[in-house]
């Protein structure tokens, strides 16, 4: 292999690696700076598909990765935290948001990439404030993107003087309709391999700016790259819920249909872009005897943005219809309740702000499961007959929460390995604590169920006053858990005072009920075995309250 070929490969591979690392740093830095603002945007997604689309644009513009946004949406849909219609809206918006990167590459500051990288690196390494460090990290990422792009350009440049490469590229020319489809397929495969549409758009710009491929071919490649980026969501949906598969399918169908209609009017579309830009993007300009294509990168960026914006505007009104199509493709299946989380996806851990939001939704879900256990438990203990199916469901729910707590802990543990601000680190610690407390609550509810079952099977009976005390304590504990859950859901630390007052009231009632029971025992109005079961049940309810108070303290930021 010649020295020129070796240098070319080193520049292309090294430039691509620096480009991808720059995208990662830029994304993480911008997310860290955006912080809670980004989380509020995610929470603001409603059933209005137009608002959802807007949120998709904003979130992806900050995250700088449509793949991250779509994987997040697949996770939310799988968890039942987002319905299909707004999920499709967010995915459509993500397609628009990801085009921001292409316009960054159009900026004529490629030669300044290395100085930007160097200066920003000093801020990142030596700044004491987290905000400055992550601003430096984001700017460092921008520098790496431009420096990597310049390396790829210089690596691709010798190709135009290599007959073998020119012959190979000549087989992929968007001169006919089928030639356009063939180029789009190449763009799709390239994006599938690289797993970054921004990187493949950068490679396409490098090839085009060096004159290795024409504008028409570059435009067709970009169209295919929009299909290739949907592979990530499809992979993320494997093994997920039916709704998660539907969200991933909608992303792929939406982009494939878009590419099909654009390729049908491909040449008119490119003429329109030339008219809007005021010149042919493929125009050759000689500068000091060197062939240059000064307008082609801007033209490629325009093709990318124009396609995604137009496609979204065309299909957004038909989102409900698209939802029906993917529902037919992925029909509902009757399955038992899963005992593990299928929707905490480690592929978004590189986006800590999104990851912490997704783990938060699972903590909220743990609270809902615990509250549902309380409702089922009351039905079970007030039933005259032993309901084996209900008991099985209660005990299975406790197993589910055990597994959820384990997976949340593993998920958050992986997050600690990445770059996070001090606030995010504290949020992770708070969530770990809350997951553990909710798991403990489920344990004590299962204990109450087993105690009641033991009493039923041994023929133990509580007095009428004793049952009233148990049911009163149960209702107050259930209300208390509902209060704590609302604090977690809304992330309200100001509910701690009310939680403490209500918790003290439950403790007082529990002690009063215990004293009344001991009086009945002394008067021989109840059996000794019934006494043991009764007091253990009271203690279990108090422990549920104690763990609930610990959760309220965690939300309030207390150690």
The answer to whether residues 197 and 228 touch, using CB atoms and an 8 Å cutoff, is yes
Enumerate residues 6+ apart whose C-beta is below 8 A from 414.
346, 349
- For the chain, 559 residues long, give each residue's pLDDT as a single digit of tens: 577 778 888 888 898 889 888 888 887 787 777 766 666 666 666 667 788 888 888 888 877 777 777 777 776 676 566 778 888 888 889 889 888 888 888 877 767 888 988 899 988 888 888 788 888 988 898 888 888 888 888 887 777 667 776 666 667 788 888 889 889 998 898 888 887 788 888 888 888 888 888 899 999 999 998 898 887 778 767 766 677 788 888 888 989 999 999 998 999 999 999 888 888 887 767 666 667 778 888 999 999 999 999 999 998 888 888 888 988 888 876 544 444 444 465 555 656 766 787 788 889 989 999 999 999 999 998 888 888 899 999 999 999 999 889 988 888 887 777 667 777 788 889 999 999 999 999 999 999 999 988 888 887 777 888 889 999 999 999 999 999 999 998 888 788 899 999 999 999 999 999 998 888 888 877 777 778 888 999 999 999 999 999 999 999 887 6
* Cα(101)–Cα(375) distance, integer angstroms: 50
Of 283, 321, 288, give the one whose Cα is nearest residue 84. 321
Burial of 163 (0-12, 13-18, 19+ CB in 10 A): exposed
Question: Helix H segments across 107-211?
Answer: 113-126, 130-156, 163-170, 177-194, 197-209
Residue 285 φ/ψ, nearest 5 degrees: -125, 130
Burial of 254 (0-12, 13-18, 19+ CB in 10 A): buried
The answer to whether residues 236 and 65 touch, using CB atoms and an 8 Å cutoff, is no
**Domains in the chain: ranges and CATH:** 3-329 (no CATH), 346-555 (1.20.58.220)
* Cα(297)–Cα(282) distance, integer angstroms: 9
CA angle 63, 85, 351 (to 5 degrees): 20
């Amino acid at each position: 292999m010649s020295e020129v070929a070796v240098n070319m490969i080193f520049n292309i591979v090294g430039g691509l690696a620096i480009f991808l690392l720059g995208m990662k740093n830029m994304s993480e830095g911008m997310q860290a700076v955006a912080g809670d603002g980004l989380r509020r945007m995610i929470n603001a997604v409603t059933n209005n598909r137009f608002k959802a689309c807007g949120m998709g644009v904003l979130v992806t513009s900050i995250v700088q990765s449509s793949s991250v946004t779509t994987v997040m949406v697949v996770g939310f849909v799988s968890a039942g935290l987002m319905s299909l219609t707004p999920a499709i809206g967010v995915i459509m918006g993500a397609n628009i948001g990801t085009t921001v990167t292409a316009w960054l590459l159009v900026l004529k500051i490629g030669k300044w990439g290395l100085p930007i990288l160097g200066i920003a690196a000093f801020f990142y390494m030596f700044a004491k404030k987290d905000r400055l460090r992550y601003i430096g990290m984001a700017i460092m990422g921008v520098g790496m993107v431009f420096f990597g792009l310049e390396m790829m350009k210089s690596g691709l440049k010798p190709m135009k003087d290599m007959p073998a490469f020119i012959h190979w590229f000549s087989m992929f020319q968007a001169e006919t309709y089928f030639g356009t489809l063939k180029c789009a397929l190449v763009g799709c495969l390239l994006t599938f391999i690289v797993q970054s549409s921004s990187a493949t758009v950068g490679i396409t710009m490098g090839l085009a700016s060096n004159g290795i491929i024409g504008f028409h071919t570059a435009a067709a490649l970009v169209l295919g790259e929009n299909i290739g980026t949907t592979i990530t969501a499809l992979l993320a949906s494997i093994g997920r819920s039916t709704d998660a598969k539907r969200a991933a399918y909608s992303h792929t169908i939406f982009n494939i249909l878009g590419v099909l209609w654009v390729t049908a009017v491909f040449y008119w579309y490119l003429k329109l872009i030339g008219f809007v830009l005021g010149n042919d993007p493929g125009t050759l300009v000689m500068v000091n005897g060197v062939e240059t294509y000064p307008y082609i990168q801007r033209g490629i960026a325009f093709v990318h943005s124009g396609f995604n914006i137009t496609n979204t505007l065309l299909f957004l009104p038909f989102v409900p219809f698209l939802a029906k199509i993917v529902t037919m493709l992925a029909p509902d299946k009757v399955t038992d309740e899963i005992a593990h989380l299928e929707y905490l996806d480690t592929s978004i851990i590189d986006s800590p702000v999104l990851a912490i939001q997704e783990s938060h939704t699972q903590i909220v879900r743990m609270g809902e499961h615990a509250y549902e256990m309380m409702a089922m438990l009351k039905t079970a203990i007030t039933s005259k007959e032993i309901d084996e199916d209900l008991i099985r469901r209660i005990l299975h729910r406790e197993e589910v929460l055990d597994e959820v707590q384990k997976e949340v802990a593993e998920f958050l543990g992986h997050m600690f390995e990445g770059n996070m601000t001090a606030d995010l680190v504290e949020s992770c610690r708070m969530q770990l604590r809350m997951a553990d407390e909710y798991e403990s609550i489920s344990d004590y509810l299962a204990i109450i169920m087993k105690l009641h079952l033991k009493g039923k099977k041994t023929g133990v009976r509580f007095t009428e006053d004793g049952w009233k005390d148990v049911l009163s304590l149960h209702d107050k504990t259930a209300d208390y858990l509902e209060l704590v859950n609302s604090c977690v859901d809304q992330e309200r630390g100001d509910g701690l005072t009310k939680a403490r007052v209500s918790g003290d009231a439950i403790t007082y009632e529990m002690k009063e009920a215990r004293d009344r029971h001991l009086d009945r025992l002394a008067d021989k109005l109840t059996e000794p075995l019934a006494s043991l079961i009764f007091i253990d049940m009271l203690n279990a309810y108090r422990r549920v309250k104690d763990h609930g108070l610990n959760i309220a303290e965690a939300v309030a930021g207390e150690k």
